[in-house]
Amino acid sequence: MIRISNLDVRYGGDGSEKQVISNLSLSIEDNSSLGVIGPNGCGKTTLLHTLAGLHDNYTGELRLGVHEDKVALILQDIGLLPWKTVRENASLGLDLGRSENYSNVEDLLHELDLFGYREDFPSQLSGGQKRKLGLARALAVDPRVLLMDEPLVSLDEFTREELQNKILTLWQERNLTMVTVTHDMEEVSFLGQNIAVLSQVPATLKCLIENHGAGEVEFRGSEEFYETVRKTRQELP
Amino acid sequence: MKKGIVRYAVSFTLIILMWWFASWLVGLLLSGPKSSVLPGPLTAFATLIKHWGDIWPNFLRSGYRLVLALGFAIFFGSTAGLVIGFEESVNEYVSPVLYLLYPIPKIVFLPVILIIFGLGDLSRVIFIFLVTIFQVMISARDAAKNISPKWIKAVQSAGGNRFQIYRHVVIPATLPGILSSIRISIGLGIAALYLAELSYTNQGLGYYIDNSWKVFAYSDVFAGILAFAILGLGLYLIIDLIERVFCRWNYEDRS
């Protein structure tokens, strides 16, 4: 279980320090999914980066419940390395020593329809394929916790839905605990079994919406789904 | 490959035509012995082939001096440049030193270098090294400073340490910029080589050209210049090959 208690996160220093997250408490059950939504610049990305260990200027308690090697983060702009091929990008975590299961990379490339492009470079991929590659790279190290920062931003509606379904399948197949930060109300309602609505900066938890229907592809378009979207919209500051 | 050969052939033909025209013009405008000061391309190539036995040892000696100096300048210059550019705290202290040293014309140190390190190859290698290292260092520093933070975060978030960030991001991201600066350094290095071979040596293309000037053997002067061009071309082709192999991502078609 991921446990966040009284988290305060600051940025900057030398007199220009800015508090980005204030007294945030949350817990996320193993193998469940949490969606995080909030106004622009409220600290959603900072929360994910702090969970991923990229930012250490914080106070409060942060327990991931797994070794840090078992946490994977998909960055908002993916951060694919242009000089590495699709296969090399997907294997990055393994090349850095986090896993030796290279057959997992092949499986993921097959599963995400990227195997035929394995020797191409990121500049030769479409937007959707780049997002898939980001997902493959994160899952290649066989994580227990998957953190995603706007994983499907700037994709067309069709590709977005296709990838949302794919994420759902991978989450269930691989027993992941998943945290998705997004500004899209439908996406957060589709992917999050719980939805954390954050306040304006410094972000604190405004409310937690239970969304038990999430987790099935058929959930999209149901009455319950639209009810969650409506509730989320109401709670957003 | 075929396209490349065609481009080289076109460039070569253009240079030969311009050279031939300039030589014809000089011959027309000047009279007496002066009229042969700029021999035509055919004369120069014929001399190069005829005197290749004399030119070859000089070519080898110049190539040895240049490659050794450039090799050291590239290795130390790019390593130092990457660290200076990527480590902000190092940059703050070292960049002012670079700005002080870079503009000094290194030729002023040549006599000092010759006195300290003797009249052999070492002095000439050190001189060319000093002329070229700053160019490589500053280019590498600037390339490292402009690395996108998202690439660094990608490696950090996948558990990469500082060394792995250098290996997977800093070096490959800056390689195209460093190779460009090496191309410029080859030109600078050849100019420095010529200067370094003008005094207190009896071998090298600079010496060969200078000696030919002194005896008014103009066609030998231009045969020596052609040998310099061949040396430079060889080095440029090697850099192009390295870029083709290690920066393949820069050449692939964008979707």
Model confidence pLDDT, tens digit, residues B224-236: 999 999 999 999 9
Please state the separation of Cα A216 from the chain's center in Å: 18
User: For residue B173, is pLDDT > 50?
Assistant: yes
Determine the Cα–Cα distance for residues B19 and B25; give it in Å rounded to an integer.
Answer: 10
Tokens of A116: 């035929």
Residue A41, pLDDT score: 86
User: Are residue A24 and residue A118 in the same domain, yes or no?
Assistant: no
* B62: exposed, middle or buried (Cβ count in 10 Å: 0-12, 13-18, 19+): buried
% residues pLDDT > 90 (chain B): 85
Cα distances (Å, whole numbers) of residue B242 to A31, A128, B1, B7, B246: 48, 32, 15, 19, 6
- Give B164's contacts in chain A (Cβ within 8 Å): 96
User: Are residue B133 and residue B82 in the same domain, yes or no?
Assistant: yes
B146: number of Cβ within 10 Å: 11
Cα distances (Å, whole numbers) of residue A98 to A26, A70, A95, A132: 28, 9, 7, 20
Determine the Cα–Cα distance for residues B58 and B202; give it in Å rounded to an integer.
Answer: 9
Residue B33, pLDDT score: 78
Instruction: Select the residue from A75, A83, A131 to test the B interface by mutation, using most B Cβ atoms within 10 A.
Output: A83
Smallest CA-to-CA distance from A96 within A114, A106, A81, A76 is with: A81
Closest in B150, B160, B169 to A75, CB measured = B150
Residue B253, pLDDT score: 53
Q: Which residue in the block uniquely carries the two structure tokens 């040396």?
A: B231
Determine the Cα–Cα distance for residues B12 and A168; give it in Å rounded to an integer.
Answer: 61
- Rounded to the nearest angstrom, the minimum Cα separation between B115 and chain A is 47
Smallest CA-to-CA distance from B184 within B144, B149, B132, B237 is with: B132
Smallest CA-to-CA distance from A220 within A180, A188, A196 is with: A188
Please state the separation of Cα A75 from the chain's center in Å: 8
Q: Does A88 touch chain B (CB under 8 A)?
A: no
User: Are residue B123 and residue B163 in the same domain, yes or no?
Assistant: yes
- Rounded to the nearest angstrom, the minimum Cα separation between B147 and chain A is 11
Q: Is the ipTM of this complex over 0.90?
A: no
- Give B244's contacts in chain A (Cβ within 8 Å): none
Cis peptide before A202 (omega within 30 of 0): yes
Q: Does A68 touch chain B (CB under 8 A)?
A: yes
User: Are residue B33 and residue B55 in the same domain, yes or no?
Assistant: no
Q: Does A151 touch chain B (CB under 8 A)?
A: no
Q: What crossing angle do the helices spanning B88-101 and B121-145 adopt, rounded to 10°? A: 130
- Give B160's contacts in chain A (Cβ within 8 Å): 96
User: Are residue B19 and residue B57 in the same domain, yes or no?
Assistant: no
Give the residues across from A37 on adjacent strands: A197
Smallest CA-to-CA distance from A203 within A73, A36, A53, A3 is with: A36
CATH code at position A186: 3.40.50.300
User: For residue B245, is pLDDT > 80?
Assistant: yes
- Give A82's contacts in chain B (Cβ within 8 Å): 249
User: For residue B255, is pLDDT > 50?
Assistant: no
- Rounded to the nearest angstrom, the minimum Cα separation between A165 and chain B is 25
User: Are residue B80 and residue B117 in the same domain, yes or no?
Assistant: yes
Residue B8, pLDDT score: 85
- Give B255's contacts in chain A (Cβ within 8 Å): 123-126
Model confidence pLDDT, tens digit, residues B6-61: 888 999 999 999 999 999 999 989 888 788 899 999 999 999 999 999 999 999 99
Decide which of A67 and B86 is more confident. B86
B68: in domain: yes
Smallest CA-to-CA distance from A131 within A100, A95, A170 is with: A170
Domain count, chain B: 2
- Which domain range does residue B7 map to? 1-38
Closest in A81, A96, A137 to B151, CB measured = A81
- Which domain range does residue A177 map to? 2-66+144-235
User: Are residue B26 and residue B140 in the same domain, yes or no?
Assistant: no
Query: Average pLDDT of B153-157?
Result: 93
Residue B230, pLDDT score: 96
Per-residue pLDDT 10s for chain A (237 aa) are 899 999 999 887 666 788 899 999 999 999 999 999 999 888 899 999 999 988 888 999 999 888 888 899 999 999 999 999 999 999 999 999 888 888 899 999 999 999 999 999 999 999 999 999 999 999 999 999 999 999 998 888 899 999 999 999 999 999 999 999 999 999 999 999 999 999 998 989 999 999 988 888 889 889 999 999 999 999 887
User: Are residue B120 and residue B237 in the same domain, yes or no?
Assistant: yes
Instruction: Select the residue from B88, B153, B157, B254 to test the A interface by mutation, using most A Cβ atoms within 10 A.
Output: B157
Query: What is the DSSP annotation of B85-115?
Result: HH-HHHHHHHHHHHHHHTTS-GGGGHHHHHH
CATH code at position B213: 1.10.3720.10
Q: Does A121 touch chain B (CB under 8 A)?
A: yes
Q: Find the angle CA(A23)-CA(A29)-CA(A33) to the nearest 5 degrees.
A: 90
Closest in B150, B249, B253 to A79, CB measured = B150
Domain count, chain A: 2
Q: Do B157 and A92 touch (CB under 8 A)?
A: no
- Give A146's contacts in chain B (Cβ within 8 Å): none
User: For residue B254, is pLDDT > 60?
Assistant: no
User: Are residue B63 and residue B3 in the same domain, yes or no?
Assistant: no
Q: Does B154 touch chain A (CB under 8 A)?
A: yes
- Rounded to the nearest angstrom, the minimum Cα separation between B237 and chain A is 22
